[in-house]
Amino acid sequence: MKLIVDGDGCPQNARKICEEYASYYNIGMVVVSSYDHNMQGDFETIIVDKGKDSADFKVIELASKEDIVITQDYGLASLLLAKTYAVLNPVGFEYTDSNIDKLLMTRYLGQKTRRSGGRTKGLKKRKASDDIHFEEVLISTITRRIKNAENLNELI
């Protein structure tokens, strides 16, 4: 199991929370980003070209069934739901089969409005409560993954 962070869209606070718990639980962490988002820390960094969706394609390539991916990108999350153990948003919720369609539709409608010359509200400013929610969801997901692995080992 490893944490894979979409570095191009993950707030610094959330990345630091991931780094803290990857170290605490002794699991690997990989941050994938384009070269203009160079990050350093106690994790593996994979730098990709600046091209559109380059980091997303690399995250998809790296991800496996045991991994937890952190991204704000709804499209990337939708592609990873069936491929990974869990996909988390740094605001503090887990993407699921039951919420992804609504999220994608909201994104589509916003894009449509902007293309036609309209305006949409930007992202809300990150609050301290977002960090708390994200930390809770991350811990819960990691411990659930560890427990599932232990139960699987008991069956073998």
Q: Give residue 11's domain range.
A: 2-112+127-155
Closest CA to 88 of 39, 155, 38, 144: 144
Residue 122 lies in a domain: no
Residue 72 lies in a domain: yes
Residue 85 lies in a domain: yes
Residue 117 lies in a domain: no
Residue 20 lies in a domain: yes
Residue 58 lies in a domain: yes
Condensed to tens digits (0 to 9), the pLDDT of residues 30-86 reads: 999 887 766 778 899 999 987 778 889 999 999 999 999 999 988 899 999 999 999
CATH number at residue 65: 3.40.50
Is the model's pLDDT at 122 over the cut of 80? no
Q: CA distances (Å), 24 to each of 11, 123, 133, 155, in order? A: 20, 31, 18, 27
Residue 120 lies in a domain: no
Number of domains in the chain: 1
Which helix (H) or strand (E) covers residue 21, if one does? helix 12-24
Closest CA to 14 of 93, 131, 116: 131
Residue 119 lies in a domain: no
**pLDDT category of residue 156 using cuts at 50, 70 and 90:** very low
